[in-house]
Structure 1
Amino acid sequence: MADEQIEVPDSTAVRVALWRAMHVQIDAAPHVFEDEAGLRLAAPGEGWRSRPDMDPHGTSGFRAAVVARARFIEDLVVDQAGHGIDQYVILGAGLDTFAQRRPESASRLRIFEIDQPATQAWKRRRLIELGYGIPDRLRLVPVDFEAGGDWWQQLSAAGFDPGRPAVVVCTGVTVYLTKTATEATLRRLAGLAPGSTLAMTFMLPAELIDDADRAALEETKPRAEASGTPFISFYTPQEMLALARTAGFEDARHVSGTLLATRYFADRTDGLRPSSGEDLLVATV
């Protein structure tokens, strides 16, 4: 029983998975991103759609932003796999379900999912219980960040080959890290093999967020702190690009949330649009 009690997923990761499922269940087609596998993993029980953080209208912007970034990342990974990249690393993987939903693309990759030990133990158990199993191409890499765990060392021990290029993604993480920790992560990733690509999300400071979205974001800050995951770091696009270039990335570009909204939501007639506040860094070695 003690082991089961500590095998719990991160609450933020569960929320993201449920928003992705909500998009399929309540938003009009065409869906930007289709993922109900995360809902199966989370198994939140009846009434989960009545949770305050699942309010279909009040959280629609957050839901749209989550599926927009998921679609962008997945398009990037599939494109990279098509160009021969065969290593995919997910920092802060949470309830990512790429390996389960996209078996054909996943079969061309060795996927390394890095997250806290409790989340990884829980996910391993749930994948087995649901019949997905854990194929050899999927490596669940537990790292105790709070105890100073070395994720790079654990990644290598799991079979990652630093001599071959990889695509690395880190979404919804940097806001919870100190800037020093993010700088260190960027320096480490800038040492990847040539041809590698990093996609990393970052939160914008309040003054760069659209007026219509600012109040909703401010309301989430005390809730995040109360749940033990306070928002720590915010970056302007220029700051994030400077960090990447100083770390050693040869090329770094900013992908705005506005660009994703235009790319994935422009033709929708239901008014669904991503809230502003989270942008992406895409950098190559």
Structure 2
Amino acid sequence: MQTGEPSRTAYSAARYRADHQELERGAVFRDPLARAIAGDGSAGGYLDDDARRRMRLFIAARSRYAEDALGEAVAAGAGQVVVLGAGLDTFAYRNPFPRLRVFEVDHPDTQQWKRQRLAAAGIEVPASVTYVPVDFEHDALELALPAAGLDVGSPVFVIWLGVTVYLTADAISDTLRALGGLAGGCEMVFDYGLPQADVTPGQQAVAAERDRRLAAIGERWISRFTPDGISDLLHDNNFRVVENVPALALAQRYLGRTPTATAGPQLVRARLGG
């Protein structure tokens, strides 16, 4: 993103979630606030209809996967969730867990933009929400979170979607190291981009067009990992992989079928401790 401007990729993701509510009737992921915060207009205008549908379903599925995992963590005793790179995510404003505190972490410019959109849409900010302004490339997450009121001695669940591909490997490692220092324990879900050699020719064509569009707005994918590489990085920061989920497996899980191709990064669920 550009300093002084909100994240355009966050805007695009919000529009994909909103489009899913209308075009697939929220079959994978229900978000009644998606259109209100995203506004009018559809995402992925540079893609053909099939590619847009695949991307919509992936973005819906990754949100569904993360929030299902969060629900399991809350049932097991987690009372805090940190949404890293929250963008226009709406979980905090439809949170079904009365005792769950939500810490939204994002660049201050994006947070200011989001709060303006929330106000314009008439979406109330619950008392359970805390905004934590952080630039992942420069700010210390381990200082920002407790300063905002996070109880580092109690279990924390972390949702980190659509962010790591835009960060350097050092920034990703620093974030994992900060989360690995939480005394009360941490579980998280995040997504990551695969190396170009690990995707199909069709996915490579979509990726090339995506990269061209990102370059036009001053953004680009920076970091990519193999599943083994992400497992090693997590292990180095005291996390163990619970599940590493390809996008195709998400489609099978939530749609009951496997499409010939799908778009988007891969998801991983990890837990602190060994």
**What is the TM-score with the length of structure 2 in the denominator?**
0.89
Q: Secondary structure at the match of 2:239?
A: coil
- Counterparts of 1:128-147 in structure 2, within 5 Å, are 128-145=119-136
How far did residue 38 of structure 1 move?
Answer: 2.8
Deviations 1:63-117 (A, max 9, x none): 1111110110011111211222100001100011012233x22x22100001111
Q: Please name the residue that 1:32 is paired with.
A: 28
Count the aligned residue pairs.
270
For 1:113 and 1:53, the matched residues in 2 are separated by 30
How far off its partner does 1:223 sit? 1.2
What SS does the aligned partner of 1:114 have?
strand
**CA, structure 1 residues 162+30, in 2 after alignment: closer, same or farther (shift >3 Å)?**
closer
Q: Find the partner of 2:110 among 104, 119, 134.
A: 119
Residue identity opposite 2:248 in structure 1: T
Q: Are the counterparts in 1 of residues 245 and 267 from structure 2 also a CA contact under 8 Å?
A: yes
What is the Cα-based RMSD across aligned positions, in Å? 2.4
Give unmatched runs, 5+ long, in structure 1: 1-5
1:262–1:31 CA distance, 2 compared to 1 (3 A): same
**Mapped contact 1:20–1:66 kept (Cα < 8 A):** yes
What is the deviation of 1:55?
Answer: 5.5
User: Partner of 1:96 in structure 2?
Assistant: 89
> Aligned ranges for residues 4-83 of structure 1 at < 5 Å?
9-27=6-24, 29=25, 31-44=27-40, 48-49=41-42, 52-53=45-46, 56-83=49-76
Counterpart contact for 2:77–2:155, Cα < 8 Å? no
Contact 1:19 1:54 (C-alpha < 8 Å) held by counterparts: no
Q: Distance in 2 between matches of 1:50 and 1:69?
A: 17
- The one-character-per-residue Cα deviations of 1:23-65 (angstroms, maximum 9, x if unpaired) are 12112x5610122413212324xxx238724764341111111
Secondary structure of 1:57's aligned partner: helix
Letter paired with 2:34: G
Give unmatched runs, 5+ long, in structure 2.
none
Equivalent residues of 1:197, 1:283 under 8 A apart = yes
1:279 matches 2:269: no
Q: 1:284 to 1:58 in 2, by over 3 A?
A: closer
Counterpart-to-counterpart distance in 2, 1:54 and 1:37: 25
One-letter amino acid matched to 1:157: A
Q: TM-score, normalised by structure 1?
A: 0.86
Distance 1:171 1:216 in 2: 20
Letter in 2 for 1:222: R
